[in-house]
Amino acid sequence: MSTTATWDTQGNWAMKDNNNKGLSEAGLRRMREVLARHMESGGIPGLVALVGRGEDTHVETMGTLHEGGGAPMRRDTIFRLASLSKPITAAAVMLLVEECRLRLDDPVAEWLPELADRQVLRSIDSPLEDTVPALRPITVRDLLTFTFGFGAVLAAPDTYPIQVAMRELGLDGSAPEAGPDEWLSRLGRLPLMHQPGTLWQYHTGSDVLGVLVQRVAGQSFEAFLRERLFGPLGMKDSGFHVPADKIDRLPTSYAHDPQTGGLVVWDEAAGGKYSSPPVFERGGDGLVSTVDDYHAFYRMLLNKGAHRGERILSRASVELMTTDHLTPEQKVEKDAFGDHFGRHGGYGFGMAVRTHRRDLASVGQFGWDGGLGTTAYADPVEGLTGILFTQAAMDSLDTPRLHKDFWTTAYQAIAD
């Protein structure tokens, strides 16, 4: 089914005149046809797709919350955002920067003493004892740009001693969850993989930022988000878990069997990982949301920090978040991930920034993808936002191909 909604004129969009022409009916029909073909293939149980431009917002819902039938996908279905949590975490940090409670180039050790006086591996394959002192402290900016010296390793599990140590300390997600203080304490026991500021490494910086916000704000990370972002933006279904009275709106989360390609349950809805408050509110991948909630967040970014007449972030902060901050040397690790991380060209604060024209997206497009099946980007040149949420992980060809085809049709939906 499809639905179309129009935002009121208080959205305060500041787009060029040609961006106010909205969406094309012919383009939206093409999108519906393409998404339906993916659904017919059987690799995706359900999806909710949103495209927004100017005052036009169009939503498609297809399939079911669970494989094999049952409750249909709805516009208010709640999805696990996975790494789409990262841009929200970056925005939370910028709120504290604007209040001068944090400064981008100040060391984080004042608030995160576990990360003070770091040692750094002599090389990525070194034993944990083969280290040199860090040349400088870790800063807030390092965490926002994923260049603080620690993160995902581009190698098979347990290739290097540092990976073994991460697994043994439960820092790879394989062990029962530790609280934020214990998690950071474990991280602080390990050396950095690279000198601060030298190399982009995925993910871990956002989890550290969540702890940083909690300590600086003096309240839980979720409480801060609700007070400063979710409340003002009307994101009523966003948080770190789905309460019991909404659990029927959470789909089963699926991965793919590596041998057969078939769907296997990764996380149930009722009784699953997201059905109760987590021990650690992870800034990197812990949030849940709906397409309309997430659209409100992106509309705010597209509108340079304003939403329905209220200033959430300054124009300067949003421009800083959505600007490429990486040098070619810092991008080596990112670009080595190829199409998954490297296709955008650049990286801002908590999300990618497109620096070259590779497909239909404009230079300046910003956003990110989530490993559990989510994708969301905004294009300031076209005034376009696209959001596609599914419950099928990006560990096979099915979901990435769906995402690519969604983006191809989203740009066709731009009215001339």
Residues 91-140: pLDDT tens digits?
999 999 999 999 999 999 999 999 999 999 999 999 999 999 999 999 99
Tokens encoding 194: 């690279």
How many Å apart are CA 50 and CA 227, to the nearest integer? 26
pLDDT for position 42: 84
CA distance to 30, 57, 219, 377, 404, per residue, from 2 (Å):
13, 11, 40, 21, 20
Give the 3-state secondary structure of residue 342.
coil
| Residue 135: count of CB within 10 angstroms of its CB | 11
Give the 3-state secondary structure of residue 320.
helix
E-state strands within 64-201: 79-80, 119-121, 131-133
How many residues in the chain? 416
Report the DSSP beta bridge partners of residue 352.
347, 367
- Residues in the chain, pLDDT under 50: 4-19
Sign of the dihedral through C-alpha 408, 410, 411, 416: positive
pLDDT for position 341: 80
How many Å apart are CA 105 and CA 145, to the nearest integer? 12
Q: How far is CA 83 from the centre of its chain?
A: 3
Helix ranges, 253-367 (H): 291-302, 315-321, 332-336
How many Å apart are CA 66 and CA 64, to the nearest integer? 5
* pTM of the full structure: 0.94
pLDDT for position 351: 96
Strand pairing category for 352-354 and 366-370: antiparallel
pLDDT for position 174: 67
